[in-house]
Amino acid sequence: MKIGILGASGQVGTALKENLTTNGYTPLLGSRKATADYQTNADVAKAADLLILAVPGQTVLDLAKQLKADLKGKILVDVTNAITSDFSGPKTFAGKSQTQLLQETLPDTAVVKGFNQTGSANMIKPEGSVQFFAGDDQAAVKQVTDLAKQMGFAPQALSLQDSPLLDSLGFLWIKAAIQLNKQPNLKFYLK
């Protein structure tokens, strides 16, 4: 399985790349522009089987539309958190999560929400912390949760209709770890 990271040059993409590399993977690295270290997001979308979407939240749907043909038949893991402009909570779109809209935009792609309920430092060393994954293609969710387990997470599977809950949990992590406690290593565990 070829893994690609769209938005690999950002903080989250870099952290996931480090974890994947530590665990024996050689992810393809995508960015807006090709450089010595990165291919374009479009080139990575064409070449990878499982793609991790680690771009800024406000660019997600536009990028999905641009890459729609290249993402057909693949797994796309949405790690983004759509937050309101006033930073008061998760952003919804007519009662739907951005991930649900992403799945509607990409009907021939298995979209899975996950890796959004923690910070980049924890993505490098998850230490058995929990990560929830939501998607309607159960084979894709299993593939992603198996990967997350190899990466050191304790994955839990949910359906895509639960993706708004993951957005809320992602916002809770941001609020607790960054805004209130200034503890970017805060992790969630199930006991």
With respect to residue 188, please indicate whether it lies within any of the assigned structural domains: no
Q: What is the pLDDT of residues 22-36, one digit of tens each?
A: 999 999 999 999 999
Q: Is the pLDDT of residue 125 over 90?
A: yes
pLDDT class for 85, splitting at 50, 70, 90? Answer: confident
Contact 82, 90 (CB under 8 A): yes
Q: Is the pLDDT of residue 49 over 90?
A: yes
The per-residue pLDDT of the chain, averaged, comes to 95
CA terminus-to-terminus distance, the chain: 32
Q: What is the pLDDT of residues 146-184, one digit of tens each?
A: 999 999 999 999 999 999 999 999 999 998 888 777 788
Q: What is the pLDDT of residues 59-78, one digit of tens each?
A: 999 999 999 999 999 999 99
Q: Give how many domains the chain has, as a whole number.
A: 1
With respect to residue 171, please indicate whether it lies within any of the assigned structural domains: yes
Tell me, what CATH number does 114's domain have?
3.40.50.720
With respect to residue 190, please indicate whether it lies within any of the assigned structural domains: no
Q: Which of 133, 170, 134 is nearest to 155 (CA)?
A: 133
Provide the residue range defining the domain that includes 17. Answer: 3-180
78's enclosing H/E stretch is strand 75-78
